[in-house]
Structure 1
Amino acid sequence: MFCSLVFCSLCFWHLLVFGNSDTVKTVSVSVTDGDTITLQNNDSQLQDNYLLSWTFERPESRIAEINKGARNFLIHDGVPDGRFRDRLKLDNQTGSLTIMNTRTTDSGLYEMTIKSKKDDTYRFTVAVYAYLIAPVISSDSSRCFSPLSPCSLVCSSVNLGHATLSWYKGISVLSSISVSDLSNTLSLPLEVEYQDKNTYSCVLNNPISNKTTHLNTTQFCHTCAVDSSEGHANCCDSVEAVLRLVVTALMGVAAATAMFF
């Protein structure tokens, strides 16, 4: 996937004017982990004899520069910590900077400064979000559920960053949980009644994408079946087993009482 940041067609620029000569232009852009983005100014070709520099996060962290007069074109992809190594491309004509195979650690402020007859600064606030994988719905597969007890489920997802996990009943949100740390795991429980015919889904989303997993209640919430070959109920639900014992005991007491009348 290639995301090209073009001034005229894809981005909304905010122009702040300081005096009559110097300008600062800023823009925000969001992409998904693994995309390629191109950060460029609105000029198709720069004037002769200019100095251009690209920095990341801090003014002293220079990652690329052009000295048009001296015909020097340099990429410092080892700065600040080698995160951009072999992933930067500099256009010698327009000064645009391309970042290939983006990572979440590439998020931050990029600044392009052009020094010529007047000084221009272009600032790009880049947010790279993790690629989302559809969340997983699970239950205790060793258990069966009786009509008297709810079916307990869990929706989960791993390796996230700035994402929200939500349970939906139809189009209404039942519950949600968010995370901003890439190393965290999200888990969200849900209980469904045996004869509930509503539509449920688990949705994982961030500011630019989402993934949905729909709940199939018959897959996870199967009822206890009678094993005809054994002649008894094949059920793992302890609550139902206790109820059966109680009913049997009451019937025994009633029978014993009837013998005395």
Structure 2
Amino acid sequence: MNFNIISYADAGCELGGSNAVRGGFTQHFNSSAVRSHTAPLKKMFHKFVLFCLCCWGLTGVFGDLVSVMEGDSVTLNTDVEVCDGDDILWKYVAGKSPVGKMKKRKQIVSTFNDTDGRFRDRLKLDNQTGSLTITNITTEHAGVYQLEISGAKLTSKTFSVSVYVCLPVPVISSNSSQCSSSSSSSQQNCSLVCSVVNVGHVTLSWYKGNSLLSSISVSDLSISLSLPLEVEYQDKNRYSCVINNSFTNQTTHLDITGLCQTCSDSVSLIVLVYAATGSLLIVASVMIFCTCRKHRKTDKEVETCEVEITYAETTFYKRSAQKTKAEEESHVVYSPITIR
């Protein structure tokens, strides 16, 4: 387009420089310049309006963000002055039913268990401020809560409640039952794995000192995570495995000497175990042999004593019939017994 305008102006000059042509060209050029400068401003204005609308919409959807640990209590504050003629209604959006009502003037306060009874004996409604308290909260109570105050004016407020469970302690274990060695160096490496079970919305990470080595995140519920790591056996650095969410964290420090053993150490340990076992067997065999030999010797001695006992023969002599009884007793002869 600019090429055509310039050509038209040049043609007018050759015909004598018509003022009408020059004036038309000048006016058209000025309007084009204005439009070229205002176009970016209009785009910026449109973007600003769209951003404001998005912010306003998101505020209405998510409202106040509240985080709480499972098992604790949380209070959703109205943060407004409740008048005598006001009525307060609390709704749990996921359950699509009211969980609390209050009529300020009549001092009527009611709480509901929801259709599935998840809020049974857990809700408290302040009869002065209308604030809602959830006790012993669990993950099934997470979600969006909506407050409506009707009276002289209508007020609404939204709360987005996130419930975090107590994180388990990460478990570090050896990834293989055999030792391994690096092909590029004489240093021997140990393969480890850090694992956790039944977690959600967490990040599992390996740290070397304060430096992050690797990490893995998950947004699902009730899932198992594992993260491998390979270190050198002689490494003296401090390693730790950390599981965390936006609310809390748990840490386990690595004990390299307890989990990792070099191939030479493994062989030495096996040899030591076999040697100890062999020594015990030898000692037990010697003790059994000595005991059996002792019993055998005792039995032989008893048998020998019984065989060598010899009874001597006794010889009696015929006495005269005329001797008296007293004389007969005095002539009793005793024969000696010899034991060979």
Instruction: Specify if TM > 0.5.
Output: yes
Q: Distance in 2 between matches of 1:194 and 1:24?
A: 53
Please tell me whether residue 62 in structure 1 is matched to residue 101 in structure 2: no
Q: Distance in 2 between matches of 1:32 and 1:84?
A: 17
Q: Distance in 1 between matches of 2:134 and 2:148?
A: 18
Deviations 1:156-212 (A, max 9, x none): 111212001011122222221112222101111111112222221101000111111
Please tell me whether residue 200 in structure 1 is matched to residue 245 in structure 2: no
Give 2:70's match in structure 1, choosing from 6, 20, 33.
33
Give 2:174's match in structure 1, choosing from 121, 139, 144.
139
Report if aligned partners of 2:69, 2:164 keep a CA contact under 8 Å in 1: yes
Please tell me whether residue 217 in structure 1 is matched to residue 217 in structure 2: no
Deviations 1:203-238 (A, max 9, x none): 10001111111111011012325235757xxxxxxx
Q: Distance in 2 between matches of 1:25 and 1:200?
A: 39
Give 1:73's match in structure 2, choosing from 103, 109, 113.
109
The alpha carbon displacement at 1:132 in A equals 0.9
Q: Which residue of 1 aligns with 2:195?
A: 156
Relative to structure 1, the CA distance from residue 208 to residue 149 in structure 2 (aligned partners, 3 Å threshold; closer, same or farther) is same
Q: Which residue of 2 aligns with 1:234?
A: none
Aligned residue runs from structure 1 range 223-234, under 5 A: 223=262, 224-225=265-266, 226=268, 227-228=271-272, 230=274
Q: Distance in 2 between matches of 1:123 and 1:131?
A: 26
Q: Which residue of 2 aligns with 1:105?
A: 140
Which structure has the greater CA radius of gyration? 2
Q: Which residue of 2 aligns with 1:174?
A: 213
Relative to structure 1, the CA distance from residue 229 to residue 155 in structure 2 (aligned partners, 3 Å threshold; closer, same or farther) is closer
Relative to structure 1, the CA distance from residue 126 to residue 114 in structure 2 (aligned partners, 3 Å threshold; closer, same or farther) is same
Relative to structure 1, the CA distance from residue 24 to residue 118 in structure 2 (aligned partners, 3 Å threshold; closer, same or farther) is farther
Match of 1:218, SS? Answer: helix
Deviations 1:14-44 (A, max 9, x none): x97xxxxxx999311111111100111224x
Relative to structure 1, the CA distance from residue 73 to residue 221 in structure 2 (aligned partners, 3 Å threshold; closer, same or farther) is same
Give 1:126's match in structure 2, choosing from 132, 136, 161.
161
Cα-Cα RMSD: 2.8
Give 2:227's match in structure 1, choosing from 184, 188, 191.
188
TM-score by length of 1: 0.72
- Sequence identity (%): 51
Deviations 1:37-83 (A, max 9, x none): 0111224x621121110001259421111122343221112x14322
Report if aligned partners of 1:25, 1:122 keep a CA contact under 8 Å in 2: no
Q: Distance in 2 between matches of 1:58 and 1:202?
A: 36
Relative to structure 1, the CA distance from residue 205 to residue 150 in structure 2 (aligned partners, 3 Å threshold; closer, same or farther) is same
Report if aligned partners of 2:207, 2:241 keep a CA contact under 8 Å in 1: yes
Please tell me whether residue 85 in structure 1 is matched to residue 120 in structure 2: yes
Match of 2:137, SS? Answer: coil
> Residue type of the partner of 2:152?
K
Please tell me whether residue 46 in structure 1 is matched to residue 82 in structure 2: yes
Q: Distance in 1 between matches of 2:72 and 2:92?
A: 18
Uncovered stretches (5+) of structure 1, i.e. residues with no partner: 1-14, 17-22, 232-261
Relative to structure 1, the CA distance from residue 135 to residue 25 in structure 2 (aligned partners, 3 Å threshold; closer, same or farther) is closer
> Residue type of the partner of 2:88?
L
Relative to structure 1, the CA distance from residue 67 to residue 194 in structure 2 (aligned partners, 3 Å threshold; closer, same or farther) is same
Report if aligned partners of 2:87, 2:102 keep a CA contact under 8 Å in 1: yes
Match of 1:159, SS? Answer: strand
Q: Distance in 2 between matches of 1:137 and 1:228?
A: 27
Report if aligned partners of 1:24, 1:122 keep a CA contact under 8 Å in 2: no
TM-score by length of 2: 0.56
Higher relative contact order (CA 8 A, sep 6+): 1
Moved more, 97-106 or 172-181: 172-181
Report if aligned partners of 2:199, 2:223 keep a CA contact under 8 Å in 1: yes
Kindly indicate which of the two structures has a greater share of residues assigned to strand: 1
